[in-house]
Amino acid sequence: MDPICPLALLSAGTEATIAEVRAGKEMRFRLAGMGLCPGARVRAQCVDRGSLIVSVGDARYALSRGIAMKILVGEPEAA
């Protein structure tokens, strides 16, 4: 699956699958531990100019725009 857009550009209420995480190694390990790794389904819940709250499985995370730009997702679709 091709990366389509950064997570930061999702609009509230849409779902997508993570395609790639373009962050440093340590950050990637941390994100994998949190469930944010390629293949994971994420849903954007609250969106505010790039920073957002997403749900992954049963967990919910707040991300700043900086990190949300580095997580690339596939085609978003309305949940």
Partner 1 sequence: MTGIRIALTGNPNVGKTTLFNALTGSRQHVGNWPGVTVEKKTGRIDWNGHAIDVIDLPGTYSLTAYSADEVVARDYIIDENPDVVVQVVDATNLERNLYLTTQLAELGVPVVIALNMADAAEAGGYAIDREKLSALLAIPVVRTVGTRGEGLDGLLDAAIREAETSPHHEHTVGYGNDAEAMIASIVDVLSADKDLTKRYPLRWLAVRLLEGDENALAKIRDSPAFTGVQALLSGIDPDEYEAAMADRRYEMIAAVLPQVRTAGAGGMNVSEMVDRVVTDRYLGIPIFLALMWGAFELTFAVAAPFVALIEAGLAWLSATVAGSIEPGWLASLVGDGIIGGVGAVLVFVPNIFILFLILSFLDDTGYLARAAFIMDRLMYAIGLPGKAFIPMLIGFGCNVPGIMAARTIEGEKDRLITILVNPFISCSARLPVYILFAGAFFGAGAGGVVFLLYILGIAAAIGSAKLFRHTILPGESSPFIMEMPPYRLPTAWTSLLHMWSRGAMYVRKAGTIILVGALVVWCLASLPFGVDYGSSASLAGALGHLLEPLVAPLGFDWKIAVALLFGFVAKEVVVGSLGVLYGTGEGGDALSMALLADPGLSAATALALMIFVLLYTPCLATIATIRKETGSWRWAGFSVAYGLVLAWLLALIVGHIASLFLGGA
Residues forming the site for partner 1 (CB under 8 A): 23, 25-35, 37-40, 45-46, 48-49, 51, 53, 55-67, 70
Shortest reach from residue 74's CB to partner 1, in Å: 15
Query: Between 5 and 45, whose beta carbon lies closer to partner 1?
Result: 45
Query: SS3 for 42?
Result: strand
Shortest reach from residue 11's CB to partner 1, in Å: 13
Query: Between 10 and 70, whose beta carbon lies closer to partner 1?
Result: 70
Query: Between 11 and 64, whose beta carbon lies closer to partner 1?
Result: 64
**DSSP H or E stretch at residue 29:** helix 25-34
Query: SS3 for 7?
Result: helix
Cα–Cα distances in angstroms (integers) from residue 20 to residues 48, 52, 72, in the given order: 22, 18, 5
User: Residue 36 in contact with residue 71, Cβ under 8 Å?
Assistant: yes
